[in-house]
With several copies, the nearest count.
Chain A
Amino acid sequence: MKKNLHKYTILLVLLAMGIISTVITDGAFARPENIMNLAVQVVVNGILAVGMTLIILTGGIDLGVGSVMALIGVVVAKLQLTYHFSTWSSVLISLALGLGIGLWNGFFITKFKLPPFIVTLGSMTIARGLALVISKGSAIAPVNNTFAMLATWQLPSLVAVVLTAIIGGLILFRNIRNKHWLDGIATALVTLFVIWVLLNSRGLPLPVIIFAIVAALGIFVLKRTTFGRYLYAYGGNVQATRLSGINVDKLLIWDYVIMGGLAALAGLVLASRMAAGVPTAGNMAELDAIASVVIGGTSLAGGAGAVGGSVIGAFIIGLLNNVLVILNVEANYQYIIKGFIIMGAVMLDTLKQKRG
């Protein structure tokens, strides 16, 4: 119940921000096209935030995600441009590299008992260095055409609407069957909103689809699989988890491997979007990802939280950036406004929880 409540207070905060944004931008914010823009712009941070949730739940952290994104982008572009790999093979190799980096992190964290902060600080620095060395500091472009098209490919609007309706309907059905009325209302509203946006767009861009799948999988894994439940267990009480016969080292290693894979996926989306491998990309991306997770209500101490919140957190950050551009606020003031709003959002959330 408490978890659920939190999900809604932060969703309400997002909703309130959306309404305010619409008002102060004279409606420009809420235009379907802009909402779709926003969705696309959230994808990279959103994917990272999903993975980061799985990490922070264990009380860990991954500082390396931004640099890994850059490295992956550089590698995929280099493979295509210099070594003439096909889009698919270069993508697969890059994903494997991401998983490998995760394995490296997990290995040192579990086998040498090093703090995740240090291990991932190490991979953050190393990955950035590799990205710069491989690219000699320049962007690698152009990438394969197919690869660049991935980010712009769209599922036709009508198909997307039908799919959304089906999925939304199924969830709604479950909610009603389980008598989760609040969930039901939320599902209905979100589904209708998405359908409205889709009906007014050319289609649903592939990055958004990927993000939706990643988020859904994240939610599913945490809620429904042993792996997900063990992550909560580990974050809540390492000792008890170990005594329950769970191989906690394996658990953590997998966790970091998944994060590595998601960082690679985010890096691929970014590279495809930019149609280039950029060694300086993803600078401080880890901070945004962690912030999304924390805004979404996951505790840095581990053991409590959920992917849903992190996704909303990512949207809050994305919305802020989007609106500030629409308003064309001067960069220097943007910092100030952002600082206040991030604090304010979490504060509202906390106050509501207290009352609720």
Chain B
Amino acid sequence: GCGNTNNAGNSGDNQPEKKKIKIGVSVATMQEAVYTFMKKAMEDNAAANNAEIIWTSADNKEEKQLSDVESLLSQGIDVLILHAVNTGAAASLVAKAEAAGVPVVAMDRLPENAKVALYVTADSRQVGRIQAQYLAEQLGGKGNVIILEGEAGNGVARDITAGNKEVLAKYPDIKVVVDQAHKGWARDLAMNTVETALTQYNNNIQGILANNSGMAMGAVQALKNKGLAGKVVTIGSDADEDACKAIKAGELSADVDKKPYELGKASFLAAVELAQKKTPASDTTIKNGDFEVPVKLTPVELIKKDNVDTMKYRWPNL
């Protein structure tokens, strides 16, 4: 459902003098589970804060996001929550909002060199570091590793991979033998990559780092076919439902939960505060080109077999 903005009978109705806050959201895509949780977080909190949410999704196309943001601004939103398709290209979106007097909350992805009011993030680079750290520990600092990257040129893919490599650089005996990007983060392409690599290296592969859960599951499937599932350390990110199930089954080693619900909720609450002309709380600041941007960090968590049951909050069927 998309229209739970008119909850009759709630507190909003009793105070007709108070105008509803209009919050525009522009996300890159809705084609991954994580985004539905961000959306849900906002919807769950909308009524209580007398806010209306206009949600748009850019289909991973920069140009569509541009149109989305323009359309949102022309509808007179009070705050914009922006999840950029492309962090390098999103400064102009922030500028547009600024020109319209609309503050911007950057959700998960920080538009480069842009003056956003707040950056709420689960920090993709950190995700990459956590993945690699866990891998290095499991491998005892030694082995052949495959990195499965998402779409070439995608910011999240870039950051996670950078985080991976930053940590792996400290382990000279870990060798990245295959490092491939995958169009559309496609699970089957990732599976092909792993199959080919396993063949080429005679199964002499010890670890697989995947930029998201889907590709990690593609890897698991390829491993399964060779009877290697559970024997090669495999780690994803997003903690999708099937990934969590695979962790439980011992096929996937770990996955990073970016806690999308928390991320969505924190972004939303900050936006409400901005609409009320308050300054939302932040944990730190970061230098973003010419600007100093306040940052609110939401937790990320490594999910392994021992703590996978905590994911029941998100996946009740686990």
Binding site for B on A (CB under 8 A): 28, 31, 33-34, 37, 40-41, 44, 132, 135-142, 148, 151-152, 270, 273-276, 278-285, 318, 321-322, 325-326, 328-335
Task: Decide if B218 is an interface residue (CB 8 Å cutoff).
Answer: yes
Contacts of B60 in A (CB 8 A): 283
Given known contacts A274-B217, A284-B184, A328 and B2 CB-to-CB distance under 8 angstroms = yes
10 closest A-B pairs by beta carbon, nearest first, are A139-B88, A331-B181, A141-B242, A331-B57, A138-B33, A275-B92, A331-B30, A276-B89, A41-B67, A139-B89
Q: Is the CB of B153 within 8 A of A132?
A: yes
Given known contacts A41-B195, A139-B240, A328 and B179 CB-to-CB distance under 8 angstroms = yes
Q: Is the CB of A137 within 8 A of B35?
A: yes
Contacts of A140 in B (CB 8 A): 88, 242
Given known contacts A325-B180, A330-B55, A276 and B187 CB-to-CB distance under 8 angstroms = yes
A284 to B245, CA, bound (A): 29
Among A28, A273, A282, A332, the most chain B Cβ lie within 10 Å of the Cβ of A273
Contacts of A328 in B (CB 8 A): 2-3, 54-56, 177-180
Task: Decide if B196 is an interface residue (CB 8 Å cutoff).
Answer: yes
Which residues of B from 199 to 213 have beta carbons under 8 Å from A? 199-200, 213
Given known contacts A138-B32, A273-B221, A274-B217, A325 and B242 CB-to-CB distance under 8 angstroms = no
Contacts of B59 in A (CB 8 A): 331
Q: Is the CB of A139 within 8 A of B242?
A: yes
A40 to B155, CA, bound (A): 26
Q: Is the CB of A273 within 8 A of B188?
A: yes
Given known contacts A152-B225, A281-B186, A141 and B178 CB-to-CB distance under 8 angstroms = no
> Binding site of B, secondary structure by majority: helix, strand, loop or mixed?
helix
Find the B residue at minimum CB distance from A138.
Answer: B33
Q: Is the CB of A139 within 8 A of B30?
A: no
Choose among A138, A273, A318 the residue that contacts B92 (Cβ–Cβ < 8 A): A273
Choose among B91, B152, B158 the residue that contacts A141 (Cβ–Cβ < 8 A): B91
User: Chain B 23-35, CB within 8 Å of chain A: the 1/0 string?
Assistant: 0000001111101
Task: Decide if B110 is an interface residue (CB 8 Å cutoff).
Answer: no
Given known contacts A273-B92, A273-B188, A331-B152, A278 and B199 CB-to-CB distance under 8 angstroms = no
CB distance from B25 to the nearest CB of A (A): 10
Binds A, one of B68-76, B118-126, B132-140, B280-288: B68-76
Which residues of B from 40 to 80 have beta carbons under 8 Å from A? 54-57, 59-64, 66-68, 70-72, 74-75
Task: Decide if B261 is an interface residue (CB 8 Å cutoff).
Answer: no
Which residues of B from 165 to 224 have beta carbons under 8 Å from A? 177-181, 183-189, 191-193, 195-197, 199-200, 213-214, 217-218, 221, 224
Total number of B residues with any Cβ neighbor in A under 8 Å: 77
A280 to B215, CA, bound (A): 12
Contacts of A280 in B (CB 8 A): 31-32, 62, 85-86, 151-154, 184-186, 214
Given known contacts A330-B2, A331-B181, A136 and B36 CB-to-CB distance under 8 angstroms = yes
Contacts of B108 in A (CB 8 A): none
A325 to B191, CA, bound (A): 12
Contacts of A330 in B (CB 8 A): 1-2, 30, 55, 179
Q: Is the CB of A138 within 8 A of B217?
A: no
Given known contacts A281-B62, A332-B30, A321 and B192 CB-to-CB distance under 8 angstroms = yes
Choose among A37, A138, A151, A329 the residue that contacts B2 (Cβ–Cβ < 8 A): A329
Contacts of B67 in A (CB 8 A): 37, 41, 318, 321-322, 325
A41 to B71, CA, bound (A): 9
Find the A residue at minimum CB distance from B155.
Answer: A138
User: Chain B 215-243, CB within 8 Å of chain A: the 1/0 string?
Assistant: 00110010011000000000000001110
Contacts of A137 in B (CB 8 A): 30-33, 35-36, 152-153, 158
Task: Decide if B113 is an interface residue (CB 8 Å cutoff).
Answer: yes
Contacts of B70 in A (CB 8 A): 37, 40-41
Task: Decide if B257 is an interface residue (CB 8 Å cutoff).
Answer: no
Q: Is the CB of A325 within 8 A of B72?
A: yes
Q: Is the CB of A281 within 8 A of B71?
A: no
Q: Is the CB of A270 within 8 A of B63?
A: yes
